[in-house]
Structure 1
């Protein structure tokens, strides 16, 4: 008896059947490359002499990939790839818009600078125990968080970057590092738990984890679901990860404990992932809830700015001082998110990109200062200008930049946020932005006067030598980026405004996931 013919399945109802455009592979290539490079560096961990060269090369390739991705997204608009060819929202989506691409490229530049700096800062023991593999794993998590289009996978990439950050934090196993790691780990695990609870709640409400699908459903079902509770959970979780008041005490307790290059990478990357997550959830997914929480967010932003600035004024250890400046900058970004609109959201994005570059460079400058003097205390630091005038000049430019003085990169986002506040009558918030900029100027001016301009104290040891190229080159490169962004901001401002527009009106983002204009 002949067998009956098998029924023909219509795979177009379940799978993406069209071939993937070659340029679209750039969407997942940053994460794939970081994992591959990290695995290679791990296998070669005993080849200590090769670690730095391979790590720098891997970070340089990542910069090239992210630059190509940004160019592709700028030309084609948001781009989506779905794992396993399953149609969204069932397949895990990687969706990249201008905001994600800008954050990814800036993080890659910071990682490259850190890889170069580490060539002279991380000794053989640190390389043997995995600095460069941990760095690439960290970048896999950071890149994945910026590029994913799935809220649960945002959680997964947070876990990846946290695991690698734990490894970097305790590299060296000194008592101070262990103490800082415990505080860092506990508070971040609490934040991660809140994030997971919120994500489980979200899935129970929407039955999906795809961000584009959530944006569509939230708009259609608003008023019938407890979205304010969900939004508040995400604000608390991501606010803790971003070190916002009152859940920011873990940062100044831990960022001064690891090697300087690790502190630089953390200051440039980790809190900005929390800010990016807030932008993605509160601006794109829950804009109405963000508006209702705007006053609370503005109060939190103001408290974060003031606490950070006053904390910086009260520090004598310049590593701790920079930790408080990181916190103060987070307040400016939160103020932009609270204000909303093109100015507020654009200002938050611009300030985040600026802070990634400048705070990394400032920690590197502190590392060089400690190397020249053997100390991080303002009571002992002195005479740095006479020891290395080029290094002192770069430091002074960075001090101007972090203070928000014109025409450097920190000036423009503060103007955007202050103007957005004045436009809606929130003069008090604009005043706090300006006040904290003034307090920051005093804090870094104090560092300049005592550590750089003051004549060398007679009880200090003689200079240990000049500044090595492995430290000066990445510092100079990051400083040049900050100066260029301040003097020639037009192209960056245009991209940032477009990125803010896609976040606030995500129709292009949604069309990249659902090309037919709706869910399958």
Structure 2
């Protein structure tokens, strides 16, 4: 059995790729197409969960594609960090596709090309999984490009003017990010002559400090756009709210975390000297504060949640910038929490639109009386995001605050103050949505009567109120509620099992914080680290119990 385990590593990439091809062939058979997507993503949850157990016991595992050893060949790396992200992303992708299938996929007009949705969605999953497993920068770039192409199709599904406009802006920003990434790849290869991340980290030790910092800065710009950190976040609140709610949910919950993952990986494997940590702290603080201040000014729930998404990316950047194992553990724990909670909230917005015909706070009200189930499904992740104890949002922030206090320094304390202020303001915005959308009588809303009335010609309907003209407003399929409830339950489970989850994120952070472990897993004997030599017991425990002795 142990001999077969390494062959599980490429499965999160191969399965969705094959399923996408099958789903495309079944485009004229909706039931078969949906069954393929549903079962594939369900299988990925079990597969990725098994991989977490495996690497937690055996240590980081690698697979060399095509028989070429690292650093020449393509290396896939499964360690605690990558398998954690794979598993959480599989849960989110499964719940969202369940939601999509239950609502009939369509989230707008009758002319939407729904046959391409599931194959594209599966390709998105493939690109995300490749990004998490890639052991070299070039294939990380390939993973980014795969989910970029898929996300553009999903974002513009239905081809309404506002969606195409937002999609063009999204693609332009993403292309700029890709060009910056390509430029960074050229700089890296010109400096060290390799794309393998473990090998890059080894050779970067011989590169002058200024050159290393410049290369890292270019990479951080590329990944910062993906992660939507300030000041590279302006594209997100304009792009996400116009997309269908189920698409916005997976984008908001998952795609930005791929950028955060890439930042963690390059910071810990290749540029572990911490030369730009102070800059990352400033960026994290600005991201938290500017994001939440933007959220407070919004009257539409989708835009409000898009700004809170930006804001809470700052917490993860905070943990990365600290550079300590505890800070990284907090960042990983908070990423798990935020992926689940943010996705759940966007799915709830889809339920609100289906129930009330709009997501505008100027037109909403009485939802707590009309649909108490939706009210509960909103309230739980909302207070979780706001950091109310004992929920996982509070636990993640507490870990980060403790890590910041342990590090000390002016910037750390400023970030602690910013994190507390952002948490309080997030709670304020979540309660504001509750009071206006759920608790207030809809007749008291400034435009409540407009939302209740059917607009005249369909041509005049904007994306914001298009649901008011549909016959299915007020009728919500059970699967939409069940999938949302499952994701809310998963977010609550992070609270219930916070101890074991925190333990594995701590072990993950400890492994990530020691680049020698990653190098040994990827390069085997083909590396040499100044000041330390691996003993013959290097294979013990897959790399996590490698003994090091001074020469």
In the superposition, the TM-score normalised over structure 1's length comes to: 0.93
Report the CA distance shift for 1:374/1:465 in structure 2 as closer, same or farther (over 3 A).
Answer: closer
- Residues 129 and 171 of structure 1 are in contact (CA less than 8 Å); yes or no, is this contact kept in structure 2? no
**Cα separation, 1, equivalents of 2:52 and 2:13:** 15
- Residues 205 and 225 of structure 1 are in contact (CA less than 8 Å); yes or no, is this contact kept in structure 2? no
Q: How does 1:170-319 map to 2 (within 5 A)?
A: 170-219=156-205, 221-223=206-208, 226-288=211-273, 291-319=274-302
Match of 1:80, SS?
strand
Match of 1:255, SS?
helix
Tell me the equivalent position of 2:35. 53
**Aligned match for 1:492, one of 456, 476, 501:** 501
Tell me the equivalent position of 2:546. none
1:451 lines up with 2:451 in the alignment: no
Tell me the equivalent position of 1:6. none
**Cα separation, 2, equivalents of 1:508 and 1:300:** 29
**Aligned match for 2:122, one of 122, 136, 146:** 136
**Cα separation, 2, equivalents of 1:173 and 1:215:** 44
Match of 2:63, SS?
strand
**Aligned match for 1:67, one of 49, 57, 61:** 49
**Cα separation, 2, equivalents of 1:125 and 1:493:** 46
**Cα separation, 1, equivalents of 2:209 and 2:474:** 67
- Residues 212 and 513 of structure 1 are in contact (CA less than 8 Å); yes or no, is this contact kept in structure 2? yes
Report the CA distance shift for 1:509/1:515 in structure 2 as closer, same or farther (over 3 A).
Answer: same
**Cα separation, 1, equivalents of 2:363 and 2:2:** 60
Tell me the equivalent position of 2:513. 504
Return the offset for 1:60. 0.7
Q: How does 1:250-399 map to 2 (within 5 A)?
A: 250-288=235-273, 291-399=274-382
**Cα separation, 1, equivalents of 2:309 and 2:181:** 22
Which ranges of 4 or more aligned residues in structure 1 deviate by more than 6 Å?
Answer: none
- Residues 150 and 209 of structure 1 are in contact (CA less than 8 Å); yes or no, is this contact kept in structure 2? yes
Return the offset for 1:464. 4.2
Return the offset for 1:71. 1.6
Return the offset for 1:52. 2.4
- Residues 51 and 127 of structure 1 are in contact (CA less than 8 Å); yes or no, is this contact kept in structure 2? no
The runs of 5 or more residues in structure 1 that have no matched partner are 1-18
Tell me the equivalent position of 1:441. 427
- Residues 398 and 479 of structure 1 are in contact (CA less than 8 Å); yes or no, is this contact kept in structure 2? yes
Return the offset for 1:126. 4.5
**Cα separation, 2, equivalents of 1:418 and 1:34:** 38
The two structures, once aligned, show a CA RMSD in angstroms of: 1.8
**Cα separation, 2, equivalents of 1:126 and 1:325:** 29
Return the offset for 1:487. 2.9
The runs of 5 or more residues in structure 2 that have no matched partner are 454-471, 529-551
**Cα separation, 1, equivalents of 2:180 and 2:262:** 14
**Cα separation, 2, equivalents of 1:126 and 1:50:** 19
Q: How does 1:50-129 map to 2 (within 5 A)?
A: 50-121=32-103, 122-123=105-106, 126=112, 128-129=114-115
Tell me the equivalent position of 1:427. 413
Return the offset for 1:215. 2.0
**Cα separation, 2, equivalents of 1:433 and 1:224:** 31
Return the offset for 1:503. 1.3
**Cα separation, 1, equivalents of 2:33 and 2:344:** 22
Which deviations, in whole Å up to 9, do the C-alpha atoms of 1:333-361 show, x marking residues without a partner? 11111111022111111111111111110
- Residues 60 and 78 of structure 2 are in contact (CA less than 8 Å); yes or no, is this contact kept in structure 1? yes
Which deviations, in whole Å up to 9, do the C-alpha atoms of 1:25-73 show, x marking residues without a partner? 1110110001000110011112223332322112111112211221211
Which deviations, in whole Å up to 9, do the C-alpha atoms of 1:269-305 show, x marking residues without a partner? 11100000000001221011xx221221111111111
- Residues 113 and 158 of structure 2 are in contact (CA less than 8 Å); yes or no, is this contact kept in structure 1? no
**Cα separation, 2, equivalents of 1:126 and 1:354:** 33
Which deviations, in whole Å up to 9, do the C-alpha atoms of 1:350-374 show, x marking residues without a partner? 1111111111100000010111110
Report the CA distance shift for 1:20/1:93 in structure 2 as closer, same or farther (over 3 A).
Answer: farther
Tell me the equivalent position of 1:478. 487
Relative to structure 2, which stretch is displaced further, 131-140 or 337-346? Answer: 337-346
Tell me the equivalent position of 2:537. none
**Cα separation, 1, equivalents of 2:402 and 2:209:** 35
**Cα separation, 1, equivalents of 2:38 and 2:30:** 14
**Cα separation, 1, equivalents of 2:486 and 2:214:** 44
Tell me the equivalent position of 1:12. none
